[in-house]
Amino acid sequence: MIRRLALAVGLVLAAPIAASAQDDLIELNAGMVSGIDQLGLPIALEQGFFEKHGLDVTIANPYATGVDSLNALQAGEVDTVQVGVPMIGAVVRGMDLVALGNYSGNAAQLGSDTTMALVAREGSGIDGDDLSTLKGKKVAASFGTINHLYILALIEAAGLSVDEVELVNTPPPDMTVALLSGGIDAFVGWDPWPIVAQKDVPGAYQVVRGGNYISYVGFNVAMRDWVAENGDTIEKYLAALSEADQWMRANPKDAAQVATRWIPGLDPAVAEEAMGYNIQQADRRLSANNYEALHAAVSTLHRLGFIDSTFDVNKHMNATHIVNVMKEQPELFSDLPEIPAEAMIGEDYTFTPKD
């Protein structure tokens, strides 16, 4: 059920704008997953950036995984969602999705996975200095999501094959409980769950965080037909989100407080620690690096047998609208590293794989 969650939790937002102005706002329904890296969306709502850019945005209750958010998108419950790797499986199955901008990632470089971590239980024997110790261990991951891609990369970096590690399909909110009960040896996850586990599970420890094992894949996506009919709305939406990202990068402690209102039960100290990692890859821009990141993710999942076909990423990424925002409102990105000249793209960019 979609609702304006900010009102449901009793937030006091900015003073209401005049009714006549409200009537002019474009309505849009958006979805997100309950992860720290998705917080640009509710920040844009709470800080009034959507209204500033002419939008009346309603956010659905946060979904547990990107798969759940895509199901809502396909059902018509929302117009757009923030999702990463689950987009790949959905496209392979025939869902006509288009990526419009990053919700998390890095346009300035290829590798970026700071918000990901592997956490193990005490006595598991898993050693971050020797990832081959993953052999024979039971590790939780959410199949078809970015944390699945991350553990696959760690396994490969360890010189192991996928069948030498027992992967257990687990939703992120359930991973801490599984670790506490001893049902798994470790789990991979996005923040805040790795931080939560280290605080809630006695003896739990971080094996590895980030490390540029993968290039983060996290996009604002929508159905192709909706994209074709709503170009102006999309640019307003991406501009508001970009402004929210910039506010978040400048105000991480305040942004962490927003997280506690959107992720139930999230401890403020956990939120603040997680936000410190999140702002390192809060980059809404698209570049050739992001096309390469999606292509690499598709290729990896296909090579390892998790999807039975691949697709041309050019057909499922549309940089036109974020490129326009980047050109027309460069001040929204002035605090970010410059995109290298060789990775800069225009609205007519076509990606050519290196392999």
- Are 232 and 339 in the same domain? yes
Which of 176, 192, 209 is a domain's end point? 209
The share of the chain scoring above pLDDT 70, in percent, equals 93
Lowest mean pLDDT among 13-17, 33-37, 144-148, 334-338: 13-17
Total domains present in the chain: 2
Is pLDDT of 99 > 80?
A: yes
> Does residue 194 register a pLDDT over 50?
yes
Residue 349 lies in a domain: no
* Tens of pLDDT, residues 18-66: 444 566 999 999 999 988 899 999 999 999 999 999 999 999 999 988 8
Residue from 258, 253, 254 nearest 273 by CA: 253
Residue 227 lies in a domain: yes
Q: How far is CA 149 from CA 79, 159, 269, 273, in A?
A: 26, 16, 28, 23
Percentage with pLDDT > 90 across the chain:
82
In this predicted structure, what is the pLDDT of residue 5? 42
Q: Is the pLDDT of residue 269 over 60?
A: yes
Q: Check whether residue 254 and residue 326 sit in a common domain.
A: yes
Pair 123, 205 in one domain: yes
Residues 99 and 133 in one domain: no
- Do 227 and 151 belong to one domain? no
User: What pLDDT shows up at residue 329?
Assistant: 97
Pick from 183, 209, 235: which residue ends a domain?
Answer: 209
Question: What pLDDT does residue 88 have?
Answer: 96
| Arithmetic mean of pLDDT over the chain | 91
Residue 150 lies in domain: 116-209
- Asked whether residue 105 falls in the same domain as residue 226, the answer is yes
> Do both 9 and 82 map to the same domain?
yes
**156, 180: one domain:** yes
**Lowest-confidence segment of 72-81, 142-151, 185-194, 346-355 by average pLDDT:** 346-355
Phi and psi (nearest 5°) for 341? Answer: -55, -40
296 domain residue, yes or no: yes
Residue 213 DSSP code: S
pLDDT at 264: 83
CATH of the domain at 171: 3.40.190.10
Q: Do residues 32 and 89 share a domain? A: yes
pLDDT digits (tens, 9 = 90+) for 281-319: 999 999 999 999 999 999 999 998 889 999 999 999 999
**Can you list the alpha helix ranges (DSSP code H) found in 53-145?**
66-74, 86-92
With contact defined as beta carbons under 8 Å apart, do 53 and 85 qualify?
no
Residues in Cβ contact with 43 at an 8 Å cutoff, skipping those fewer than 6 apart? 49, 244, 247, 248, 255, 258
Q: Are residues 145 and 98 in the same domain?
A: no
Contact indicator for 62, 33 with CB cutoff of 8 Å: yes
pLDDT of residue 6: 38
How confident is the model at residue 355, as a pLDDT?
Answer: 67
> What integer pLDDT is reported at residue 111 of this predicted model?
81
Same domain, 222 and 204: no
Q: What pLDDT score was predicted for residue 17?
A: 43
- Is the pLDDT assigned to residue 187 strictly greater than 50? yes
Q: Do residue 136 and residue 279 come from a single domain?
A: no
